[in-house]
Amino acid sequence: MSRLAVQTACPESSIWRDVPEAAFRQHLVDLEKQCNAVPIASEVFTSSSWTHVSSQHKLSVEEEQQTADDFAFLAAVNEGAQSVSAVCIEENTTLSGGLTLRIAALDTTLGDDVTQALKSICGHLTKIANNKTQTPEDVEEVFHDIVVLHQHRLKGYMRSCKWTKPKHLSLSHKKPLWKDFPSLLHRAQHLYTKKEKQMRQQMESSISSLALLYTMYEQHEGDEIMQLKHLVRATYHFCINHSTKDFVERLLNSVGATPTSQVQAAINQYRQLEKIAAYYRIATFLARVAVKHSSLFKSGIAIDYLKPYESTPTTIAHESWAHTCHVHAEVQLAVHYDLQPSSAETLRPRCIGTSKWLCFLCYSFLEAHGKFFPSKTHGKLYDQWTIPDLVEFDDETVARYRDVIAKIDSRVLELDGNVFWRPEPLTSRQDFALIHTDDGLVTGKLNTSLSRLVLSDPIEPTKEIAM
């Protein structure tokens, strides 16, 4: 696939005129050196604090964000940092209604298997919308397509013996997920009082039952998809169980300033279980929202894939192996809509869904840009980041992007000298504690214990472009 040029504007009309890109990038590198490239903590934001809420949209901001996040999660099939996807949802205002998914990604590996699977999933949702009800069979059809599409990634989350490890993890020697269950069981022994013996035993029984399913999967041959679906569904019910949520909150509240390796291992394992459970949660949520907003879904869902931008060379980077800059998927979508004329038939999206949380620069970009709700950030800074500088930008857009760059640069300079070393954050999470079980929506409130979870990502960092 051909890629779009990043730099086409002349120097006089460049978005980098006021803050030269070389100076901007050097400021990033200077900041990275002070804080392990993690200048801010992970954070989740509420849409109530965002002022750009339109009454014309049928989807609430929370529904739009969650739907976009879920489709972005589904579009990111492959392992690796370059597989990050971003999605915007456009509502059609005509009588026939309808939705358009606008998908951006850094890599070009969205092959026929991905596009056909997403098309099939959207077809199921259209059928559900036309029936104006969701049956277990309808949800199962969506769920089946999701598991078939993501079967390799699911095995990766499990670190299964049936998983073919990608090249960038060839040096990783982590044990299978099923071997980590004893650490969860061990933590349960320390989180309950003597009077709470029954609660502890109930939790231990739930963990042991799930551990048995994971062990059986590794040992049995047969219908892979059926086994994976059973495992994902069981993990989902484990994660939404009130006893599990209470256990996890106790676990997180037990974390001190520097958690022990045993506690950190238990938390990381639970986060992996949440990612696995997410595949069933997504199926149920999408079916539910298709029924609730049947007027939008019944006419069909169009899917458009943006052409990615080319890489550009750089000599300014924190890591010695970094020689190129890239346009992250979130920035691709923002630029796309800034180049589009307003339309009476289509409502501009308010949210950008992502398969991973926003990096520091994408979060700062969206916050300064002002047209999209920045829902959550993991706080890590990737200096291999840039913005297209295009001849197609009109004067208003050029002025806005110059202001965006100036605001980001100003924030970086303010943080310089006022940061401290932070550990590598989890860049993608499926926080079931934040998800309202009744409607499947993220509440957007990160409580004190949850906000402490800025622990090491269980996957080793690699020399790949991260987003």
pLDDT of residue 94: 82
User: In the numeric block, which tokens belong to residue 197?
Assistant: 């013996």
Residue 459 has pLDDT above 80, yes or no: no
Indicate the burial class of 313 (C-beta count within 10 angstroms; 0-12, 13-18, 19 or more): exposed
Alpha-carbon span 148 to 53, nearest angstrom: 37
Q: What secondary structure does DSSP assign to 249-270, as a single string?
A: HHHHHT--SS--HHHHHHHHHH
Nearest CA to 100 out of 110, 90, 111 is that of: 90
The DSSP 8-state label assigned to residue 28 in this structure reads H
Mean pLDDT value of segment 19-38: 97
pLDDT of residue 293: 95
Mean pLDDT value of segment 110-120: 90
Residue 167 has pLDDT above 90, yes or no: no
pLDDT of residue 462: 33
The whole-chain average pLDDT of the chain stands at 88
Residue predicted with more confidence, 242 or 222 = 242
pLDDT of residue 78: 80
Q: What is the pLDDT of residues 320-374, one digit of tens each?
A: 899 999 999 999 999 999 999 888 889 999 999 999 999 999 999 999 999 999 9
Helix (H, G, I), strand (E, B) or coil at 22: helix
Q: What is the pLDDT of residues 70-107, one digit of tens each?
A: 999 999 998 666 678 999 999 998 877 799 999 999 76
Q: What is the pLDDT of residues 73-82, one digit of tens each?
A: 999 998 666 6
- Calculate what percentage of the chain has a pLDDT beyond 70: 87
User: In the numeric block, which tokens belong to residue 146?
Assistant: 């999701």
pTM of the model: 0.90
The top-scoring range by mean pLDDT among 110-114, 285-289, 456-460 is: 285-289
pLDDT of residue 432: 81
User: In the numeric block, which tokens belong to residue 158?
Assistant: 């499990």
Q: What is the pLDDT of residues 50-59, one digit of tens each?
A: 766 667 899 9
